[in-house]
Homo-oligomer: A and B are copies of this chain.
């Protein structure tokens, strides 16, 4: 066993968790924060900045791209990465939708 039972959950729950999982690694957060302050960068910048191996950075970039959180534009031999604006706002929205569902006043045990 040991395989996530996606069949038991809603499409929304599976989608949300997939996005959240991308935030669930400090290297990917560091990449996003670097992109937030620099607007765009190439893989090599991140290798220098973060101190992880090039292959590792590339892998994290791939996951961020798969989740559509970032976009990559080929520019010569390098790839210029930046945050995907649409997805960013969509994420902001769905996270807030969740956070705002907390009942107020609450009545806890």
- Which residues on A are within 8 Å of B, measured CB to CB? 4-6, 8-10, 13-14, 16-18, 20-21, 23-30, 32-33, 36-37, 39-40, 50-52, 71, 73, 75, 80-83, 85, 88, 91-92, 95-96, 98-103, 106-109
Q: How far is the CB of A93 from chain B (nearest CB, A)?
A: 9
Please give, as numbers and ranges, the residues of chain B lying within 8 Å of A83 by CB-CB distance: 102, 106, 108
Between A and B, 12 residue pairs with Cβ closer than 8 Å are A9-B50, A17-B23, A17-B29, A21-B24, A36-B103, A39-B103, A83-B102, A83-B108, A85-B108, A88-B99, A92-B96, A92-B99
B4 touching A73, Cβ below 8 Å: no
Copies, count = 2
- Contact present for B99 and A91 (CB under 8 Å): yes
Known: A39-B106, A101-B36, A109-B75. A4 touches B25 (CB 8 A): yes
The answer to whether residues A102 and B39 also contact, given A27-B8, A29-B16 and a CB cut-off of 8 A, is no
